[in-house]
Structures are given as C-alpha cells and as structure tokens.
Structure 1
C-alpha cells in the first residue's frame, strides 16, 4: 500500500494560540464545560468552484433547552472569518450548494412547535432565504440535480397518527418517499410510489435517474432488509438491482452512469455503518467487492472523473483513513491517516468535481473545526496532499482548558486478536496511589471510539482523578468486516473478554488500581455494562445508559426488532423460535449474581431501547439489595439533548463513581 504524507499548511494563521500560563491560567474540565460557550461544526460542504465552504454550527444559547443550529460559511482561501449565513430561530441544517455555486439550499425549521422543516434557498453570499415549497410533514436529506434544475428531498407520507388511542397495525406505518421540485417552482413532484421507503439516494450524472437504498416496509426496522434500486427522476417504479444480504449506504454513480458503487456491511444502527466497497455494473448485472479483506471500515466513497478509481474514507483503529481504491485490481493508496475525518457517525468528505479539493470537519482534543484538504497530481499519479484549518470556533476553550494526556494503546485479547483503545490518564495524581479506572464502552456495536474530543467526557472524568479506558472491542468498526462480524451470535462473549483483557493490560503495566475499576456505556455500551456486572464482581461501580437487560421484552417494544434477530445469532432468528438464546444473552437472567452498585439512566421517549429495560433492571437490582438508582429523563429519546438533562447526567455520573470508587 502506498502512503502519501499529509502536511499542515504552514501559511495558515489559525494554528492554536501559544499558551501564556502567567496571564491565562488553565482550568480543568467540569460537568458544565460542554454546556456553555461552545460551538460544534458538522456537515461541511464545499462549493463546486471550491471557493467557499458551508457548514452547520450548533451552540448553546440562553433560554433554549437544546442547541441551536445555524448555517455558517467561510472562504477557502482564508481571506475572511467564518460567520453565520442564515439566522433561523430554531434549526437550520443540511446546507447544499447549487452546481453553479451561486445558491445554497438548506433545511430550516421555524420557531413554532408544529412547524415542519422545509426546503429553503438563498444566495451564496447570504441574505434573505426563500422557502421553495411546503410539505405537510416537512423535508429532509436534500440534494441538487447535477444540471441545477431540481432539488430532491425525502418526506414522510400520510397524516401523523392519532395518539389517543395509539393504534398499531403491521405494515401500516408512514413511508419516506423521494420527491423533487423545480428550483423555479413551488410544486413538489413525487418520484417514488407510495408503499416504499427511501433511506438514501443519489442523482445520476445526467439528472435522469436516481439510485436508491429502499425498503418495502414503512418502519425503522425495515431498513435492515433494504435493497438498492434505480428509479427515473420524473417518477415511476423502483427497479431493484442486485440482491443485498446486508445493508448499504454511500451510493455513488460512475461518471458515465454505467455503474454504482456503495459501502455495505452488517450494521446495528439504521442509515450508517462501515464495511467494504462494492461496485454494481448495469451492463452485466454483476456486483463485485473491491475491498475483500481490507483492515479498515470504509464509510464513504466517490468516483474520480476518470471512472477508474474511487476516493474513500474509512474508520481505522482509533482514527480515520482517506485513500484511493483502483476498480480494476483493488489496489489501495493511502492519502491521510493522522487526522479525524468527518462527522463522528459518518466519516466523509465533501469534494469538488475533480476531487482535488475537499472540506471536512475534524476534532482533536477540542470540538470539530472545518478543514480544507488539497491533493496534488503529477502525470495522473497522486503524489501528496495538504490541509489547512478554515475555522477557529472555540479559541477560549483551546487557550484555557487544562487537558489530560490520552494515549493510543493496543493489547492482545481472545484468539490472539489485537485490540485498539484509548487510555486517558488522570489530570493529576493523588499521592503515591494508583488511580481508579473507568471503562467506557462504545455504543452500536457498529461504532468505534476515535481519538477526538469525546464531548470532553473523558477529560471530565480525568479531571476528577479517574483514568479512562475506551476500548474498540470486536464487533465495532475500524478493523475490517471479519472484526465487525465477530460479535454476531456472541454479544457479551469475546467482546466482553476484550474489555477484561484491556483492564488486565493496564493493571499489568502498573497504570491503574485493579481494586477500583468502574464501567459505563450508552446503548450497546449500556447493554455491556449490565452484562458485565452480572458476569463478574471486579467492577466496583457501574453506570448503565439506555441499555438492554432483557432481549425478550426489548424485541417486543423496540422500533428495530430486526437488529436482535440478526445479532443474537449468525443467522436470522426470533424469540418464538429460539427463546433460549434470548434468555442466555439477557443480563437480567443472571441478576442474582450482581453485587456492583449500578446507576441506571434512560430517556423516557426512547423508541430504540425502550425505557422498560431501565425499569426492569432497576427493579431486579433492588430486589437483590444491590445499591442502585434510576433516573428517567422526560422528553428524551435514545440520547440526551436538553442542556439541563446532560448536566444532570454528567454530575450524577461523577458523584456515583466518586462514591463507589
């Protein structure tokens, strides 16, 4: 594999400021640090002419319980400071440039609670935005046609179901249809028929067709059985191409429209994941895996103008990778490896048509900034790349926070596999004693920890005197399909051994106190936390966030029952056919073993992992006289979004570990 060194542009004047400790004393991270005076950049997109980048900035503002999102822009030559283009009162998202770089489309939702997000367009320089059309249920996922005449978007069909009483009928949910609207019109046109849901789509180069990832069912869980198809841009039936056995994303057409490439794998979370890169040919109907055996997890790809190579981004270890794969022979050249790329749950780039310039968001120890990357070609051969930072959104945090050191480590686990992890040392050691350790297990399991700012959460724990281990256990992303698939039929098995071996490694290195170890996690990490305290007593404190404890009742109430049917076995099972597997892999089956004090936190409106999981484990622990506490946050779903709730959770987290470790 070739490797092209990446250099930071030395001419940029936006490097981190030099710290003068005499006048700017450093302060540690607290439970309130990430809840004020902070800006987070996401969804960066470059204009086709390469002169501007638009992106979303989320920030806390007074008297708003959730972060406000606005569209910002910056010139890529660094001649101006980044600033807000639109001044929406509620939420502006999904900025997308017109092909001529003269207009910017985006999704905006106004102040009213019942107002739906709608498609808007404004001039590239900013100014008054115009609502293009009005959809009864709002719009999302917009995209310009290559010829600039249309904007496509997704919208849910049908009226919102009544809530009194709530009525559930199989297959009678609301589908997500693909629409398009002329830029000079206000009348949207349906592209796909009723009765099918579109999860992702991509315009063909001639603007005459779409490639879509679609499902015949209306529900979130139907995504797991989705297929790839093609539909005419003026509307019609979807023609399925190929036969997927796993999920797909990141659809992209070859320049001549004869092939489509996409990323596919077995994933836990709808509409995102990492895996191998496939190409489907329309001429012969064949589908080919370009990256069999690759030791990273591709998440996004895009064709070069020559139609012979694809640029891609992938999770790799605890970082990311940008590379090029040759369609003919599958050879891979690496462009960048030392920089976090793209938004956390979907590493990707936004490129100019020649793929020589691109923008992306990236974070290191602080919140994400927007970066510009450039690639140099000589005689058609990639020779080098460079990058420069375009924004500086949080200068005060960079200049004033005192941060603990985080180290990338690798240790051996079950089957001799090497496990990548991040180890954050306490900010200050207390006396000569070794520090207590907290293991933080990531969600998914189709996810991975990366060496980024982590919402300052690891730093918050480190400032309180804890060491933090974030292991990328098998079943996650970043090490290829074999590594990701290892969790199928073995949740709580060797992935749990990966956690224990990481703890043993740190103890063996003399870095932590083996008698004071805690564990925490959210979603799949919450499941692993519940599982851990039922399998061993070595953890002295635990915090279970939005976790599963009983797969039977989870399957009955979750909006993604296909997930447990696919992940609890190497095949597709059901609790009716194999109830013993559901019992065997449920932490509540072994609750009489638990001795570990366990804090349980959950969102009241969590459709993914219903709150009954929290109530069940809390009741079971209480009946076993295990110290426990249950905190249910109103209005919250599978993650916490309200400022007061996030602050409460972080404060409780600290107090729980301080009490029991």
Structure 2
C-alpha cells in the first residue's frame, strides 16, 4: 500500500568533525589536463589494508565539523575562524570562534555556549574581534566584541534590528552592518498590537546600511528604504562605500541590482551602473578608481552564462570583460597586492582552484592544482598571502596557507606550495574507513564528453559489479566537486552499505564553458537526463555497476532530475526525490527564484505569446502514469525555492497510479533543512528503502546519539 506521512526531516550544508594533528607542509604539482580520460585502473582491487579505522555512521557524517570564515592577522601570526559543532539536544549546529597561532602551531577555542556565532571580523589593529551572537539575556541577536587573546565578550549596544553582513571600518572607528530599516512609531505600534497583515512579498521589506560607533555606541542608519542593500564594501579611506542596491531583498530582485557609491561625509549617493544585470562580488580598487565584479553575462550583456570577471572604470562608467575565453565559473574575487592583477577562485569541472589575471593582457594563470577543491578563501594583501579551506576525498576541510612564491606574476605556472595550518581533520583517514573517489569521463549519446565523480563501495574488489546510487546536483547551474562530506550525499555511509555512487556534471552544469551551461536555455530536458543515463551505461559496460541494482536520488535540481528519470525509464529500482519540480508552470508562480526559469523556457508564462508549450513539454506531471519506480519524496514545509506543492503533486500522482511512495514534509524547514535529527531521519528512511528494493533486506534505523 502507498503511505502518506508528514514528519520533520532535515538537510543543511556540509559539516565536519575535529581530529587533532601536527603541522605539515605539502606541495601540489601542476596537472596537465582538465578532463582526465577514464582510468584503466578503475577495475583494480580497492581492498582495504589492516587498520583500526571504522566505517562511518550517519552520526559520524553529521558530526563532522565545518571550519569557515578565516581571518588572518596582518602580521600573519594568528588566524581566527569559526568552527561548528553538532548539538544533539538543541537539534542544531553551533558555530564558535577559534584561533590558530603560528608560534605554537595549535588552535584553541575562544567562545563557548549554546548559541551560535556568525559574521566574524578582525579589528584593523588585530587586537579585537567582533561577531553576532545571542547570549542568555538577549531578546535577539546582538553585536559582541572581545579581545583577540580571549576573555569575556561584551555587547557593543542593544540593537533593535536583526543585523547581518558585519564589517570593521579601516580606520577602526565604526562597525557596519545591514538590517531592516527602522520603523516609524505608527508602524511599531501596529506591529505590537498585531493590527496589520503583512503583504505577500512586501515591497517595503528591504535592508538598509547601518553603523555603530565604537567610541560612543551610537547606532546610525545610513541608507533609506527606497532600495535594498544586497552587499557593500568600505573603501580604504573609510569615507566611501560601494553599494549594491536592488528593488527589494527577494532573490529574484537581486538581478535588478545596480552599483552605487555612498559618500559618508554628506550621505550623497552616485549611481555607477545601468546595465540590468546583477554585479556580484563588487570590489573597489585601493585608489577608488576601478571596481571589479562578476556577472553571469557575456560581453554583449546577454544573460545566463558562466560567471565572468568585469572591471568598471568609476569615472568613465565603462566596463571591460577580463575573462572572455575562460571556461570556468568565477566564484570569488579580490584585488591582488601586485598592481594590475586580480585574484579569483573559479570552478572548473570537479574542482575549484585559485587563479590570477593580468589586467593589461587578460592572461589568466592557474595558481593551485590537484584533485581537491577550495571551499573557503581569504586573501591578506599586506602579506600577499592566501588562506584556503581545502576539501578532497580524504580531507573534509582544514585551513592551509599558500607559502611565499619564488616566482613572479609573469610566470605561466608558478610553483605554489601549501602549508597546513589547522589540524582538525588531519587524521581522519586513520579514524575512519574512507571510500575511493575518482574523476571519470565518458561520451554521451551525441558524443559530448561528460565528467563525473565515482565513489566506490568500501572493500570493493575487482570483477564484482556493485549497486549504483546515481546522485545529481542542485542548481542546476552548479557542479559536483571532490569530497565525501556533504550531509545530503552521505557518500561514506552509502559506500559502507555496499553502494557505489555516481555524481554527474551533466549539461547545464558550470565550469565547462558557456555552450555546455546554456544547453538548458530554451528547454530544460534536452540532453541533461541523457548525459546521466550515458554515465550509468558507461559504468555497466565497464563491469562496475550492476544494471539490476540502480538507485536514483537528488535534491532541488537533483530532485527535478529524479522526477524526470522515473518518468523516462524504469531502469531504476528505487528513487528518492528531494524538493523536486513536476509542473514548471505552477512552479514559476510559486518560487522565489523564477529568474532562471525565464531563460530555460524562453519567457514568462503569463506574457503575450508565452512559451506555454515549452513549459509543458519539460514538465513531468502529465507523465506520472508511466512511473513504476518506488519513490520516496521529501520537502520542507516552508520551502520557497521549490514549494511543497510540487512534491504533493508528485506524491498524489504516484499514489493514484499504484506506485509505492511516501511523502515527508519537514515542519518549519526551508529549502536547505537545518535540523540534524531530521537529517538523520531522512538518511535512515532512504537507506531503509534502498536496502529493501536493492538487497531485499530489512534495515535497522540508526538511533539519535545520546551524547550532547
């Protein structure tokens, strides 16, 4: 019988656990090719050696801590950062401040308690740190300051607004943040008396720029409520602010944002751009004459391309594309200490690495290489030093430093050495049995080269075809990259249960050039699903995957793909669809991210001569009668990205057609679920279904750990 359950489930970002370690140094040599050919050694035995390590449980994966938000002091002797810890009793992950010191080579925790810390910043003199948190007597999140050496943090002021995006001014006199504008007395009274019904997508719901004086504690709103501040950057003179301003704070409205300059002396503003696309990551040059930014347009300002690097002349208000022929997706940018150069991290295929571009020649040089990816990056220009969080199949993510280069920016391939700083995860391979992960590539149905990551089952032996879980990433303008540590993918747990996992960077993914990305423009399901199936066929032909033991799963765009697959083929014996769409027409009207869908389907569904046929052709709601695959369905109750309506349509369609299905709606959860206990439930439920249909056995749910 088909069952319908409404329970709380969870999914959230990647989290990691701490392991003590010594400081070591390693080098990463350049690699010659972007996409490697399928390795002949894939059939080789991956049998384990004798070890005291154990297979990872679900709790082990969830409890792996995440380090982030690194800030290096100007003398290079200390690194402060945030590290998460799972609080099972509170059913949440909590961030605390840690400090690494070069002199000792060790890290120590600076903040404690049950409330999370966010927006960590260093003072210009490196003597203090500031952050947002909520202590016992606070009614809402507040701004706290503490000494770098530790001690008790103190609140700077009692803020009436909920702050975000903290920055310490270069002159050390103010702390800046964004928050909703202050309310009038009439508005405050109406809200207190609950005498108002808030409008849907309230046009007055915006963010303003604020600052607080460290000397007096005075809090001041700097911008008005006519537009919403998406992000800002303070100039070195502490008198000018680069602003990105949008009509509102909704995700779709960011694409209408433009760049402005705010003069703090007289509060005057000057508009810099009129280009009708979103300028991300804006950075003012030291002299204030140039702004670099990224945008998902080409040199003709045509939309829906890999993110590219632009430079804006402030006085002339002209822009120039710096990354014309670069195939990657540029993710983060900074001005280099060396004149006329820009540094950036870019996703190319299954990795993200550091690059630099010469603005005079537009020549781009890759600085880091290897089968790993950069998760977090901080650049200290005074030392010309980089701090990166490095993630791989054996590295959940510690902080590493790029050692001083002996080569100049003119070198084509500088020899870059990495030095480990933090050692939270240095011994993880000795603590746990980790599966092998390899980059592979194959030809799709039309000859297009497709790349993916294959994770082998634990204790894999050559000649034994394994059950294959096919996971497809969200986005879809994203890509799967090296690493085993996502709580939504839980690769080590699947591998320990005997599954291999294929992750496919199908057409529509980033980091493979514009033509590859734009395959979805004008029609979502052109080649993407065929690319995924071609990867399955490739592994079957190689004798690696068992054709009668195939599983499909994914979240968000991965859920869209799962829904397509179960209507397109009955080759998958079981599936799990997370927050996936089945009807693009209703989805367009419900989602907070309709922007990309306009490009996928060629226009808005309610405009004159709307491309309704394209919306319907790419929707699977009318093909649910074809489905034979038992399918689990998960979604968040408060998901505004892919609202629960889509999952209800899928569930009722499958149930009415006699397909074994269950729907779980996560109470109070958004698109990215936040509660670890619910995440534990979701993984347990998926393993239960997979084992039932693949191995014909009963799975025992892993309990909530009793540790707190």
2-structure distance, mates of 1:586, 1:208: 52
2-structure distance, mates of 1:379, 1:640: 45
Deviation, 1:342, is 4.1
Label 1:479 to 1:432 Cα distance change in 2 as closer, same or farther (>3 A). Answer: closer
SS in 1 for 2:545: coil
Deviation, 1:332, is 1.2
Q: TM-score, normalised by structure 1?
A: 0.89
- 1:117-128 matches, cutoff 5 A: 117-128=141-152
Label 1:504 to 1:96 Cα distance change in 2 as closer, same or farther (>3 A). Answer: same
Label 1:305 to 1:431 Cα distance change in 2 as closer, same or farther (>3 A). Answer: closer
SS in 2 for 1:513: strand
Bigger shift: residues 166-175 or 287-296: 166-175
Q: Is 2:125 the partner of 1:60? A: no
User: 1:597-621, CA deviations, whole angstroms, 9 ceiling, x for partnerless residues?
Assistant: 1110111121221112111110111
- 1:150-165 matches, cutoff 5 A: 150-157=174-181
Q: Which residue of 2 aligns with 1:131?
A: 155
1-structure distance, mates of 2:165, 2:90: 25
Q: Is 2:387 the partner of 1:359? A: yes
User: 1:455-497, CA deviations, whole angstroms, 9 ceiling, x for partnerless residues?
Assistant: 3611211111111001112222222344333322232221222
- 1:81-480 matches, cutoff 5 A: 81-111=106-136, 115-157=139-181, 167-169=198-200, 171-234=202-265, 236=267, 238-265=269-296, 275-338=307-370, 340-343=372-375, 348-354=376-382, 356-364=384-392, 365-378=394-407, 381=410, 383-394=414-425, 397-413=428-444, 416-429=447-460, 433-455=464-486, 457-480=490-513
Aligned residue pair count: 635
The answer on whether the counterparts of 2:124 and 2:171 sit within 8 Å (CA) in structure 1 is yes
The answer on whether the counterparts of 1:56 and 1:94 sit within 8 Å (CA) in structure 2 is no
Q: Is 2:104 the partner of 1:79? A: yes
The answer on whether the counterparts of 2:351 and 2:374 sit within 8 Å (CA) in structure 1 is no
Bigger shift: residues 156-165 or 427-436: 156-165
The answer on whether the counterparts of 1:588 and 1:617 sit within 8 Å (CA) in structure 2 is yes
1-structure distance, mates of 2:348, 2:70: 21
1-structure distance, mates of 2:134, 2:266: 27
The answer on whether the counterparts of 2:451 and 2:504 sit within 8 Å (CA) in structure 1 is yes
Q: Which residue of 1 aligns with 2:96?
A: 70
Label 1:429 to 1:218 Cα distance change in 2 as closer, same or farther (>3 A). Answer: closer
The answer on whether the counterparts of 2:402 and 2:418 sit within 8 Å (CA) in structure 1 is yes
1-structure distance, mates of 2:233, 2:514: 25
Q: Which residue of 2 aligns with 1:5?
A: none
Label 1:469 to 1:234 Cα distance change in 2 as closer, same or farther (>3 A). Answer: farther
2-structure distance, mates of 1:66, 1:528: 29
The answer on whether the counterparts of 1:591 and 1:620 sit within 8 Å (CA) in structure 2 is yes
Higher RCO structure, 1 or 2 (CA under 8 Å, sep 6+): 2
- 1:445-594 matches, cutoff 5 A: 445-455=476-486, 457-569=490-602, 574=606, 577-594=610-627
1-structure distance, mates of 2:611, 2:182: 36
The answer on whether the counterparts of 1:339 and 1:362 sit within 8 Å (CA) in structure 2 is no
SS in 2 for 1:132: strand
SS in 2 for 1:613: helix
SS in 1 for 2:417: strand
Label 1:259 to 1:85 Cα distance change in 2 as closer, same or farther (>3 A). Answer: same
The answer on whether the counterparts of 1:54 and 1:72 sit within 8 Å (CA) in structure 2 is yes
Q: Is 2:49 the partner of 1:28? A: no
The answer on whether the counterparts of 1:273 and 1:446 sit within 8 Å (CA) in structure 2 is no
Bigger shift: residues 204-213 or 573-582: 573-582
The answer on whether the counterparts of 1:304 and 1:355 sit within 8 Å (CA) in structure 2 is no
Q: Which residue of 2 aligns with 1:6?
A: none
Please, which runs of 5 or more residues in structure 1 have no aligned partner?
Answer: 1-9
Deviation, 1:62, is 4.4
Deviation, 1:330, is 0.5
Deviation, 1:396, is 6.5
2-structure distance, mates of 1:475, 1:355: 39
2-structure distance, mates of 1:376, 1:387: 10
The answer on whether the counterparts of 1:178 and 1:191 sit within 8 Å (CA) in structure 2 is yes
Label 1:195 to 1:135 Cα distance change in 2 as closer, same or farther (>3 A). Answer: farther
Label 1:166 to 1:594 Cα distance change in 2 as closer, same or farther (>3 A). Answer: farther
User: 1:325-382, CA deviations, whole angstroms, 9 ceiling, x for partnerless residues?
Assistant: 0111100122102264543xxxx52121235212122222342212222232556656
Label 1:34 to 1:633 Cα distance change in 2 as closer, same or farther (>3 A). Answer: same
Label 1:134 to 1:487 Cα distance change in 2 as closer, same or farther (>3 A). Answer: farther
Label 1:104 to 1:167 Cα distance change in 2 as closer, same or farther (>3 A). Answer: closer
Deviation, 1:257, is 1.0
SS in 2 for 1:452: coil
| CA RMSD, Structure 1 to Structure 2 (Å) | 2.8
The answer on whether the counterparts of 1:88 and 1:109 sit within 8 Å (CA) in structure 2 is no
Question: Paired residue for 1:618, among 613, 632, 651?
Answer: 651
Bigger shift: residues 96-105 or 412-421: 412-421
2-structure distance, mates of 1:78, 1:243: 50
SS in 1 for 2:563: helix
Deviation, 1:407, is 0.6
Q: Which residue of 2 aligns with 1:7?
A: none
2-structure distance, mates of 1:573, 1:553: 9
SS in 1 for 2:117: strand
Label 1:170 to 1:94 Cα distance change in 2 as closer, same or farther (>3 A). Answer: closer
Q: TM-score, normalised by structure 2?
A: 0.84
Q: Which residue of 1 aligns with 2:702?
A: none
Q: Which residue of 2 aligns with 1:40?
A: 66
